[in-house]
Each structure stands twice: as structure tokens, then as C-alpha cells.
Structure 1
Amino acid sequence: MVAFGKKLRESQIEEWQGCYINYKLMKKKVNRYRQQIEVGTQNGDNFLMDFSRLLDCEIERIVLFLLEQQGQLATRLSDLRQQHHALLQQPDGSKISELQEAYRAVGCDLLRLLSFVEINAIGLRKILKKFDKRFGYKFTDYYVKTRANHPYSQLRQVFKHVGFGAVVGAICRNLADLQDLQHHQGNYISIYDHPALSHPDPVIDSIRSAVEKLSNSTNYLHFLGRHAFIMEDDLPTPSQDDSADQRYHFMSLLLNLVNTFLYMVNTYIIVPTADSYSLSLGAAATVCGVVIGSMAVAQVFSSVYFSAWSNRSYFRPLVFSSVVLLVGNTLYALAFDLNSISVLLIGRLFCGLGSARAVNRRYISDCVPLKLRMQASAGFVSASALGMACGPALACLLQKNFKISKLTFNENTLPGWLMTLAWLVYLLWLWISFREPSLETKETAVPQEANAGPLAKVAVNSDFTQPLLVKSEAKQQDDGEDQECDDIEEDSGEFQKPVTSIVMAYRLLTPSVKVQLFVYFMLKYAMEILLAESSVITGYYFIWQSSSVAVFLACLGLTVLPVNIIVGNYIGNMFEERQVLLASEIMVCFGILLSFQVFIPYSVPQYVGSALITFVSAEVLEGVNLSLLSRVMSSRLSRGTYNGGLLSTEAGTLARVIADGTITLSGYLGESRLLNITLAPALLICISSIIATCFTYNSLY
């Protein structure tokens, strides 16, 4: 792997080299501080003040250059505006085209400036993380608290990009105006009245995408895609995307998404009837917790070996997954006629062992081109959400009771038989249509000489193919020996290669990462308690039948996509992610509190209302939590077997296992106490996560 410092230099625009963050100098400062502390010639307060002063100077230099460049763009736009007014008085087709090209040229220069901001923002985050890791200080927390919230903050200029909106708006409006003048001969159509015209030009789409990425503004597709938690390098090389282009195969991607959908259906199709199935086999209704949770127990282990297997193949693990799930569902269905709770649990364990979600994620990360990756990620999340909703809905339709030979088909066994048939059909489709990509992976890809940097992935069609970023030259290497040592030291550090063990991965987890993994654990725990015990709770308090429970769970699942539309298009653009994170945690806590039965009789409106608040808040929380987690997690965890996706999956799966175990253990105290006893640990975990988030709040900037 190429060291981050080297990638940073190669991504710089040549004529602006002296204006970028001096990452090399600051890294040397950090190393020097460490040496001085070891020999006792420097104390903590002095080097904290010195490093803060250095960062202030670097940020000020960046911001002043940024303002200067914005001023030049504004001047050019002002000059073009005068020509624009003249054209309105006397339209000329050739001059309109020339003016459009001039506006596009300003747009391309704006893309260069956005690239400049992106590289500096990445460098600042990296050096703050390095400082905290080396010294164990909460320096990022202190620096963000004192600088970002100050009324004269220059840090906000780098991370929040004040002023770009006006430039983007001017280019966008005037290009739309010229397009209208060219095609409608003066029938003025405003972009403000017709939002569809807001981005009428490819360069505008590129600018919009770059601004969204930089400012963390988002839309529905991006917000939904974050739930997939597919981590990427901060500064990916073109060779990585070229490799993905060569390996991309639409039908194979579709098969991965279908696998995701079927697995989620498989998970939730048995939830409405798990308690009645347990009762029919002579067990308590609350054993449904073990029945549901046994799948998650097996998934804790399957996630690891499937993640490792995907280093070598995608086809073989998907085939293995389908076969194991076929066997598991068959055993689940046969347990009724065999009158064996053991066979039932073994069947669910097999289903968990067939969880190939790690392969599905890895395929999108490695084999889908960058320009399609967000759509594929959103497809992965949508498939999961639809599967979650379709599972209970299908259970509602399977309220039949008949026998064929010695096999019984009823509401308990039909989910197993239906999923057996589904996996058999999927296995045949997979065998015929899947194309195994080449074995080249991100870990072995060698960066090529030509580097296009982060904004090369924002495709601006063939009319604007001039390189936005060029490789830096010898000016950055005036002190050759020091530079070489610097690169060697960095190459041997955190950017060299992916981690090779779970212990090594744990060592890379900073307090911020641990807190975000704990938040993820909390939200999955709360959701599992709500969903897994729903059939028992509603049956005890409201005497709901399995079909009513299935409709309730299906309706909950159907809220996922609308909620993501609202948050992605509106709430996510009005507030910072860390603000949405904290607010969502508080709402989950409120939903759990509202679920308790105290004094007054438990009612359907109380249960449904509290469940809706908890579930929707947890869905919102998952999106921002995983987005922040990808930002604060080490880049070494973006690749390999023990990647960030595996860690988050393990945290969520462990939460489900513990939640399902809690339901079964609490059942021994009686169904009348089940609700409050299972909600108590959920409330405690939620309050703990809120406190932990407050302690690391500023490090999430």
C-alpha cells in the first residue's frame, strides 16, 4: 500500500503545492514531541500549545488561499454576468454556446478548489487522529471544542465550506438560464420554480456531488447507502477503480442483492410464529428468544469465515451459503413432524451459518466501480429493508393447515418449506448466472504512476477530461533523505497493510470508534428486544394472533425507506451528523421509557406508539452512526478480512444474541414480568451510550 503522506502529495495540484497542509512537517513535529517526552525535555502542556499554534497557522494559510481563490471565481462570474446581460438583450446562438463553455470552465476550476479543500480536510483529520493515538490525549476534543465553536472559527471554513454555495448557485442558475434561452427563446423558467433544472449540466452534477461529499450534506440515496457501511480509502487510486470496472458484472451484483433480500426474509419470516412453534413442541413461549437468537449465534462465527473466504472467491461462499440455508430451513420445517425442539434449533443454527452478508458487502466494495458503488450500497440496504418487511408479511399469508403424506404444512412449518424452495431456486440461478471476478483485490492492487486523486471519480463527461489533479514534483522533496525516512516510517505504520487478526483490529480502535461501536450495539439490542418478543408481548397483553403480529412487524419494516427519505433529503442537511446521532439516541431512550408498563393497564396505542418511536429512531441512528464510524475508524480497517464492516456486523450480531438470550431467561420469571425485565437492560445500555457519546462528541467533527 502507498503511505498516506505520499498519496497526499501525489494528489496535490502542482501550482498550489505551497498552499496545502504541511502534513509532513506536522508528522515530524509529533515524532519530535514523542522523543522529547521520552528524554524528559518537554512537558505535555508545552507541546499541546505548540501543536495548537502550528495547526492554527496551517489552517489560516489554507483558509486565506481558499478565500482568495473564491474571490477570483466570483470576479470571473461577475464578468460573465455582464456578457450574459448583453445576450439577453440580443440573443446569439454561437455566443450562448461560448458563454456556456466559459461557465463550465469556471465550474472545472471550482472542482479543483473543492479537491483542494477535500485533501486538506482529510490531512487535518489524519494528523489529529495520529496525535491522539501517539499520546493518548483528547487533543481532537480540545481543539474542536475551542476552535470549531468559536464565532471567528477558521476550522469551520475547511470542514463546512462556507461560501461555496453562492458560487455553485451562480454557475447553476446561469447555465440553466442559458439553456432556457437557447431552447425556449426567452420563455424564462427559473431553477427555483423548477428544481429539476437545478443541475442541467454534467459539470454541475459533478460539483454537486463534490460539495455533498465535502460538507456531509446528503440525499436519500447517500444516506441509505451509509447503512451498508462499505468503507473506502480516503484517497483511492485510479487503479483500484479500474480494477473494479474490469470485475463488475451486473447479474452477479444482482445475485448478491437477492442473497441479501432472501436472508433477511429468512430471518424475520419466523418471528410472528416462533412462540407458537415453541409451544407446539412442548417448550415455553419465551423459548422463541432462543429460536430467533440461535441464527444470530451462528452468524457471529459465519461472518468471520465468510469474510476470510471472500479474499479468494465470491462464487463458492455464495453456493455454500445457499446449500447450508436450504438444509437449515428443511430441518426447521421437519422439526414439527419430528416433535423435536433440538431439530428446530439446529435448523436455525444452520441458517445462521449460511449468513453471507460479509460476502455481499465485500463484493460491492471490491467489484463495483466507484461511480456505481453508492447506488449498489443503497440497493444492499433497500434489499435488507424489504426483506425485513416481506418476511412477516409472508408469514401472514401462510396461515394454512394441511398434510401431504406424512408432512404437515401449517403456519409454523410453511415458512421453512417456503424458504427451502426459495433457496433452491436461488442456488440454480446462482450456478447458471454468477461470474466469478478475478482474484485481484484491493490489498494486492498496485497503484499506477498516473494519479487522478479523489475528485477524478466525479466524472465530468468527455468534454472536460483535462486532469484536475497532477502528481507533485521534486519541490516537495528538497530534503530527500529526510523525506525518504519519513515515507519509510509511515509505510511501516498504520497505512502499510490491512490487519490480520481480531486482536490487531481491536488495538486500532480509538475511544471514538469504541463508542460508535457501542452505539451500534445499543441500537441493535433495542431493535431485537422490540421485534423478537413482539409475538409474546402482544399475545399476552392484547391476545393478538400470529397474523396480527405479522402485519404489525411488516408495517414497522416498511417505515425504513420513507424515514431514510426524510432524513436524507431534509434532516441530514439541516443538522450535523453528530447532532442527529445524539438526538436519535435520546429518542430511542424515550421510546424505551414509553414502552414500560407502570401503574395503568398496558394499551395497544402505548405499545404501538413506543415501538414506532424506538424502531424509527434506531433506523435514523444506524445511518448516522455508521457514517461517523467510517470517518473515525482507521483506514487499515477498510480492507482485508478483519475490516470495519466485520467489526460492526459482529457488534450488531452480538447485541442480537444477548437480547434474544435475555428474552428467554426473563421468561422463567413469567410472561407478566417479561416486558419490564427485558426493557430494563435496554434502557441502561441506551443511557450509557448517550453519556459515552457526550464524552466523545467533539471528536466526531
Structure 2
Amino acid sequence: MVAFGKKLKARQIQEWQAYYINYKLMKKKVKQYAHQIEVGTLERRHVLKDFSRMLDNQIEKIVLFLLEQQGLLASKLAKLREQHDTLEQQPEISQITELREGYRVVGYDLLKLLYFVEMNAIGLRKILKKFDKRFRYRFTDYYVKSRANHPYSQLQQVFKHVGLGAVVGAVSRNLHELQDCQGSYLSIYDPPALPLQDPVVDSIKAAVDRLTHSTNFLNFMAQHALIMQEELPAPAEEQIDEERYHYVSLLLNLANTFLYMVNTYIIVPTADNYSMSLGAAATVCGIVIGAMAVAQVFSSVYFSAWSNRSYFRPLVFSSIVLFVGNAMYALAYDLNSLTMLLLGRLFCGFGSARAVNRRYISDCVPLKIRMQASAGFVSASALGMACGPALAGILQINFKIYKLTFNAMTLPGWVMAVAWLVYLIWLWFSFKEPSRDVEENNSPHASDSETAEKNTLEKGLKQPLLITSEEQQEDDEDAEADGSEEVSQESRRPATSIASAYRLLTPSVKVQLLIYFMLKYAMEILLSESSVVTTYYFSWSTSTVAVFLACLGLTVLPVNIVVGSYISNMFEDRQILLASEIMVFVGILLSFHVIIPYSVPQYVCSGLIMFVSAEVLEGVNLSLLSRVMSSRLSRGTYNGGLLSTEAGTIARVIADATITMAGFLGQSQLLNITLLPSLLICVISIAATCFTYNSLY
């Protein structure tokens, strides 16, 4: 990997190089400021004034060039419009084709200009972030707020592409009009008309979406997968790697994701009855359910490492282990062995290949459909979560074949064993191992957000401008030797262990991982103890519990549609994050059994509030996590996806252990005792979010 400055320079359009932000100069200036402040030759107030002036000059250079290019594009469009008007009088197919190509040429020029704006916006955000990190000072708060809200703002030209929208609209509208016009002159012997959406228009819209960070349902769903996109816009020819992409292999990865989530939740409605049938307490279901998560803590690491070398072999191994684990789970009933039951679930956890599924999408799916594939990954997980309990509710039959018992408790194991066997056969004959030629180059990078913060300059001046010697370091991707442009190999290298990955975590990242831990803990408490709690308070049958859990799972996609299509377009991610945390807190609070008799409406409503809020929270949490996380954590074995998976898995393990331990105090105390840690962790996460709120941009 190369440093951000070199990467930025490599992506620049050669004839426009003089008009890009001078990232290298500004980075050196930040180092110079640090030295001058340290020796006492420069006051911090002068640093802020000088750096602001330098940024203003850089932005003005970019904006004036941008306006000049917009004028050239507008002039070309005006000439094309004249030809278009003439053509309407005497239309000819050859002239229509020529005119359409003319608009396409303008479209590609516009695409270059959008890339120019995007790279400058990223460079500006990076240097602001570097300044804040180097001096531990909220300079971005002051600079963006004071410049972006000014009536003569030049910053808006960079961050909001003011004026380019009209050019985008003109190119798009005229190309569509010409396509319709051409269609009128095609005979039945001619090839089919072009699709309504022209490829250049698709590329332009994708660039505009990235530039404005516009959010839609697919974007919001894809964020749940924590599959991070390229930090810098790639040229069109670099954006597709068709040789590594195989549609059926992608389907097999999504099928693996779906089946694993079904496997996780299919036992939840019956785990308490199964435990009691083997002579254990009902609350031992916590250990039975959590055993899978315990093994997943370890399997996530070795599957992530294995995916560096192969995708096919770990998926085969996963399928075999899951087949064996489910068979052991089902056989435990006839063997009357709680140990066999737990070992079966441990085997299932050791077969968790979610790290491989995520890595395949990241490395082998072209950028043009990676967002859809990521959304498919999340949708498969959500569908599996809903189908698991629903399937358990259907399997309410009882019969024997020889000495094998098939009932509501063992059938989930047998059904999943057969499902994994069928999947293994499909995998063996259909999966195509991608070539490993280009591995690291396809690793996505986290991108930063551009949202302005709310601190003032005066407030910032009261904070220390320099940080301690231990903390004084460059951004991971930009660290450089003294006086040298070369980046140290150590600073570019992916994390090589959990410990080295942890050292890369900033306070903002740690808070986001804490929030992820909290929401997974709260959801696991709700789901895993649902059968025990509802049986004790309401005498629900297994089928009723299964319907309740399936209904919770079915809310995932509709909620994400609403949030992704509407709410996230009206509010910042950090605002949604804090509001969702508060709603999770409300849901937990309403779940407690106090003086009044515990009722079904109270349990269902509080559970729904908690679950839906946690789902909303997960999307924005992972979105922010990808933005504030070091780019070194976007690649390698110990990446950001692995860290979030580990945080969520550990949360599930602790939650399930809490249920079992609370069971020793009796089922009457189970609900309140298990909710107390959820409430405490939720309060801590809300406080931590408020503490780091201004760094979530």
C-alpha cells in the first residue's frame, strides 16, 4: 500500500495537477507548526490563523478552476443544444448518433470533473483530520462551520458541488431524449434500443452520490456488512474486475450466510425444553445458545486468516463441521447427553464462515455491484434470523425411526444437517475459486465523513494544542520519516494481531465498538431468554414463541427501508445514532417487571422497541465505524469487520452466560437481573457517544 499523499497524486489527472489541493505541502506545514510550537518560536493562535489562510488559498484555487471548467462544459452543451434544435426539424439516425456521442463526450468530461472535486474534498477532510489529530484541537469545527455557512462560501463548491448539478441534469436529460428519439427510427430488423439509462449517466450519478454521501436503502443496508469502499475514486477502467467475479459463487456465499443465521436461531424456541429433557434447568438454554457464539470468537480469526489464501476450502470445511455439529445436537436427545448437546453447538460455532462471506464480497465482487452484494449479505442474515424461529415453530411433530427420535427438539438439528449436506454438494460442483493475483489492491478503505461540527474557535483555543510524546504521531496511512516523503513500512502494514489492531483504535472507534457490543448484548438477552420468560409469565407454547421471534426478525428489512430511504436523508448519522441509543434505553427500561403484573402488551411492545431501535442503531453504528476507523484496519486478517464481529460475538457470549447465571436465582428474578447489565451498558454507551459526538464526522 502507498501513502495517501502518493495515492492522491497517482489518481490526479495529469493536465490538472496544478489545481489539486497541495496535500504534501500542507502535511509538511503541520509538522513545521508542531516543531515551532515545541521550541516556542510560534504561538498557537498564529498557527490557526496561518493554517486557515493556507486552506482558504487552496480552496480558492480549486474553486476558480472548477468554475472555469463548468463554463467550458456549459459552452459545449450550448453548442450541442443548437445542433439538437436543428436536428428536430430534419432528424436523421446518423446525426442522432453523432449528437448522442457528443453528449457522451461531455458526460465523460463531467465525470473527470466530479472525480477532481471528490479527490479534493477527500484531501481537504484528511488534512483537517490530520491537524486535529496532531494537535488534539477541534480546528475542523471552527473552519467548516465558519466557511460553509458564509453567504460567499467557496467551501460549498467543494463539498456540495454547487453548480455541477445543472450540468449533470443537462447531460442526463438530453441523452435520454436522444435515446427515445432514436428508438422511433429503428426498424424491426435493427438491434434492440439502448436501455433507458446510459452507462455514462450511471457513472455520473454514482460519482455524485459519493460526492454528496447521499444515502438510499441499498447504501444503508450495505453499511451493516462493514464492507468498506475505496477511499479515493477509481478511474472507470479500474472499477471492475470481472475475472474475479463469479455470480454463482456469490450466491453460495450469501446462501452460507442465510443458512448460518437459520442455524443460530432455529433452536432458540426449544432450547429450554431440550435442556430440561436432559435433566438441566431451563436457563441452561443460555449456555446451549451461547456455545455457538463462544466457538465463533475463535473461528472468526482462523476463517479470516484462511480467506487470505482460499475461499473454497474454508467454505467446504465450514459445511462439514456444521453438518457434524447439527447431527451431534440432534443425537444428544437419544444419548441423553448434555455434553453432546453442547459439543454439537460448539461445532456449529467453529463452522462460522461469515468472515469468508464478507471477505469474498470485499475482494471478488466488482465495485459497481458491491453495494448490492453487501445489502444482500445483510438481507440474507435478516431473513435467516426470521426463518430460524419460524421453522422451529413448524417442526412440531414427533416420531421415531429405529432408535432415532424426531421431535420439536431434535428436528432443528436434523433439518440443518440435511441443509448443510445439500449445500456442500452444491458448493463442491458450483463454486469457482477466484484468482489470487491481485489481493491487497482490492482491499477497500475506510472513508471519512465531511459533516461539520459545532465547537467554536474560542472554545477550541482553551484546549491544549500539542499532545503528549506518546500520542504525537502521524495518521497511520501518512506517517513518514523525518524529512522524507517515504512512508515507513510499519505504518502501512495491516494489523498482524488483535493487540496491534487494538492499538490502532482511536477513542471514537472504541466508542463505536462499545455501542456495537451493547446492541448485540441487548438483542441476545431479548432473544435467548424469550422462551423461558414467556413460558414463566404467559405460558406461551413453542409455536407462539417462534411466531414472536419470527415477527421480530421480519421487522429488519421494513425498518431499514424506512431509515435508509427517508430518515437518513433528513438527519446526520450521529444524530440517528444517539436517538437510537436512547430508544434502546427506553425499550430496556419498559421491559422491567416492577410492581404491576407483567403483561403480554408490555413485553411485546418493549421488546419491539428495543429490537427495532437496535437494528437502526446497527446500521448507523457500522457506517460511522467505517469512517472513523484507520485504513490499516480495512485489510488483512485483523480488519475492522473482524473486530466488529468479535465485539458482537463476545457480547452474545456474555449475554448467554448472564442468562444461565441469573437462572440460579430462580425464574422469577431472571428478567430483571438480566436487564440490569443491558441498562448499565446502554447508559455508558450513551455517555461515551456524547463525549465523542463532535469527532463523529
Please confirm whether the aligned pair reaches a TM-score higher than 0.5, indicating the same fold.
Answer: yes
The one-letter code of the counterpart of 2:293 is: A
Tell me if 1:375 matches 2:372: yes
Tell me if 1:103 matches 2:103: yes
Match of residue 407 from structure 1: 404
Tell me if 1:653 matches 2:649: yes
Question: How much does 1:299 deviate?
Answer: 0.8
The one-letter code of the counterpart of 1:13 is: I
The one-letter code of the counterpart of 2:426 is: W
Question: How much does 1:398 deviate?
Answer: 0.8
Match of residue 638 from structure 1: 634
After TM superposition, list the pairs within 5 Å mapping 1:52-451 onto structure 2. Answer: 52-78=52-78, 80-81=80-81, 84=84, 95-141=95-141, 143-144=143-144, 147=147, 154-183=154-183, 200-235=197-232, 244-443=241-440
Tell me if 1:536 matches 2:561: no
Can you give the 5+ residue segments of structure 2 that lack an aligned partner in the other structure? 186-193, 444-479
3-state DSSP of counterpart to 2:665: coil
Q: Distance in 2 between matches of 1:243 and 1:170?
A: 27
Match of residue 446 from structure 2: none
Is contact 1:96–1:178 with CA below 8 Å preserved after alignment?
Answer: yes
Question: How much does 1:232 deviate?
Answer: 3.9
Q: 574-583 or 392-401: which moved more?
A: 574-583
Q: Distance in 2 between matches of 1:5 and 1:541?
A: 62
Q: Relative to 1, partners in 2 of residues 1:496 and 1:272: Cα closer, same or farther, differing over 3 Å?
A: same
The one of 617, 624, 630 equivalent to 2:620 is 624
Q: Relative to 1, partners in 2 of residues 1:99 and 1:530: Cα closer, same or farther, differing over 3 Å?
A: same
Question: How much does 1:37 deviate?
Answer: 4.3
Is contact 1:274–1:291 with CA below 8 Å preserved after alignment?
Answer: yes
Q: 655-664 or 79-88: which moved more?
A: 79-88
Q: What do the CA deviations read for 1:80-122 (whole angstroms, capped 9, x no partner)?
A: 5555556556656555444433333332222112101211122
Q: Distance in 2 between matches of 1:38 and 1:199?
A: 61
Question: How much does 1:629 deviate?
Answer: 1.5
Q: 573-582 or 509-518: which moved more?
A: 573-582
Question: How much does 1:265 deviate?
Answer: 0.8
Q: Distance in 2 between matches of 1:76 and 1:694?
A: 50
Q: Distance in 2 between matches of 1:240 and 1:340?
A: 59
Q: What do the CA deviations read for 1:242-272 (whole angstroms, capped 9, x no partner)?
A: 8953332233222222111111111010111
Is contact 1:141–1:697 with CA below 8 Å preserved after alignment?
Answer: no
3-state DSSP of counterpart to 2:643: helix
Question: How much does 1:682 deviate?
Answer: 1.8
The one of 684, 688, 694 equivalent to 2:690 is 694
Q: Relative to 1, partners in 2 of residues 1:77 and 1:429: Cα closer, same or farther, differing over 3 Å?
A: same
Q: Distance in 1 between matches of 2:415 and 2:237?
A: 41
Match of residue 668 from structure 1: 664
Q: Relative to 1, partners in 2 of residues 1:663 and 1:75: Cα closer, same or farther, differing over 3 Å?
A: farther
TM-score after normalising by structure 2:
0.86
Q: 574-583 or 328-337: which moved more?
A: 574-583
TM-score after normalising by structure 1:
0.86
Q: Relative to 1, partners in 2 of residues 1:315 and 1:139: Cα closer, same or farther, differing over 3 Å?
A: same
Tell me if 1:552 matches 2:548: yes
Q: Distance in 2 between matches of 1:132 and 1:171?
A: 40
Q: Aligned-pair RMSD on alpha carbons?
A: 3.0
Q: 34-43 or 652-661: which moved more?
A: 34-43
State the identity as a percent: 75
Q: How many pairs does the alignment contain?
A: 653
Q: Distance in 2 between matches of 1:176 and 1:445?
A: 34
The one-letter code of the counterpart of 1:587 is: M
Q: What do the CA deviations read for 1:309-332 (whole angstroms, capped 9, x no partner)?
A: 111222222222122212211221
3-state DSSP of counterpart to 1:408: strand
3-state DSSP of counterpart to 2:400: strand
Question: How much does 1:539 deviate?
Answer: 1.5
Q: Relative to 1, partners in 2 of residues 1:382 and 1:510: Cα closer, same or farther, differing over 3 Å?
A: same
Is contact 1:567–1:620 with CA below 8 Å preserved after alignment?
Answer: yes
Q: Distance in 1 between matches of 2:670 and 2:559?
A: 30
3-state DSSP of counterpart to 1:435: coil
Is contact 1:329–1:416 with CA below 8 Å preserved after alignment?
Answer: yes
Question: How much does 1:174 deviate?
Answer: 3.4
Q: Distance in 2 between matches of 1:684 and 1:530?
A: 15
Q: Relative to 1, partners in 2 of residues 1:142 and 1:300: Cα closer, same or farther, differing over 3 Å?
A: farther
Q: Distance in 2 between matches of 1:8 and 1:698?
A: 27
Is contact 1:231–1:644 with CA below 8 Å preserved after alignment?
Answer: no
Q: 329-338 or 428-437: which moved more?
A: 428-437
Is contact 1:528–1:660 with CA below 8 Å preserved after alignment?
Answer: yes
Tell me if 1:4 matches 2:1: no
Q: Distance in 1 between matches of 2:230 and 2:609?
A: 35
Is contact 1:133–1:510 with CA below 8 Å preserved after alignment?
Answer: no
Is contact 2:317–2:351 with CA below 8 Å preserved after alignment?
Answer: yes
Q: Relative to 1, partners in 2 of residues 1:529 and 1:138: Cα closer, same or farther, differing over 3 Å?
A: farther
Q: Distance in 1 between matches of 2:263 and 2:359?
A: 21
The one-letter code of the counterpart of 1:66 is: L
Can you give the 5+ residue segments of structure 1 that lack an aligned partner in the other structure? 186-196, 447-483
Q: Relative to 1, partners in 2 of residues 1:97 and 1:428: Cα closer, same or farther, differing over 3 Å?
A: closer
3-state DSSP of counterpart to 2:433: coil
Question: How much does 1:169 deviate?
Answer: 2.7
Question: How much does 1:647 deviate?
Answer: 0.8
Q: Distance in 1 between matches of 2:244 and 2:103?
A: 37
Q: Distance in 1 between matches of 2:442 and 2:687?
A: 42
Q: Distance in 2 between matches of 1:66 and 1:697?
A: 33
Q: Distance in 2 between matches of 1:257 and 1:87?
A: 50
Question: How much does 1:638 deviate?
Answer: 1.3
Tell me if 1:502 matches 2:501: no
Q: Distance in 1 between matches of 2:545 and 2:594?
A: 23
The one of 504, 512, 525 equivalent to 2:521 is 525
Q: Relative to 1, partners in 2 of residues 1:313 and 1:299: Cα closer, same or farther, differing over 3 Å?
A: same
Q: Relative to 1, partners in 2 of residues 1:445 and 1:683: Cα closer, same or farther, differing over 3 Å?
A: closer
The one-letter code of the counterpart of 2:367 is: L
Q: Relative to 1, partners in 2 of residues 1:181 and 1:426: Cα closer, same or farther, differing over 3 Å?
A: closer
3-state DSSP of counterpart to 1:403: strand
3-state DSSP of counterpart to 1:668: helix
Match of residue 473 from structure 1: none
Question: How much does 1:696 deviate?
Answer: 2.7
Q: 78-87 or 495-504: which moved more?
A: 78-87
Q: What do the CA deviations read for 1:670-700 (whole angstroms, capped 9, x no partner)?
A: 3223223222222232233233223333333
Q: What do the CA deviations read for 1:334-357 (whole angstroms, capped 9, x no partner)?
A: 222222222211211111111111
Q: What do the CA deviations read for 1:51-90 (whole angstroms, capped 9, x no partner)?
A: 3443343234333433443454445445555555565566
Q: What do the CA deviations read for 1:563-608 (whole angstroms, capped 9, x no partner)?
A: 2222233323333333332332233223223323344333222222
3-state DSSP of counterpart to 1:600: coil
Question: How much does 1:411 deviate?
Answer: 0.8
Q: Distance in 1 between matches of 2:257 and 2:674?
A: 29
Match of residue 454 from structure 2: none
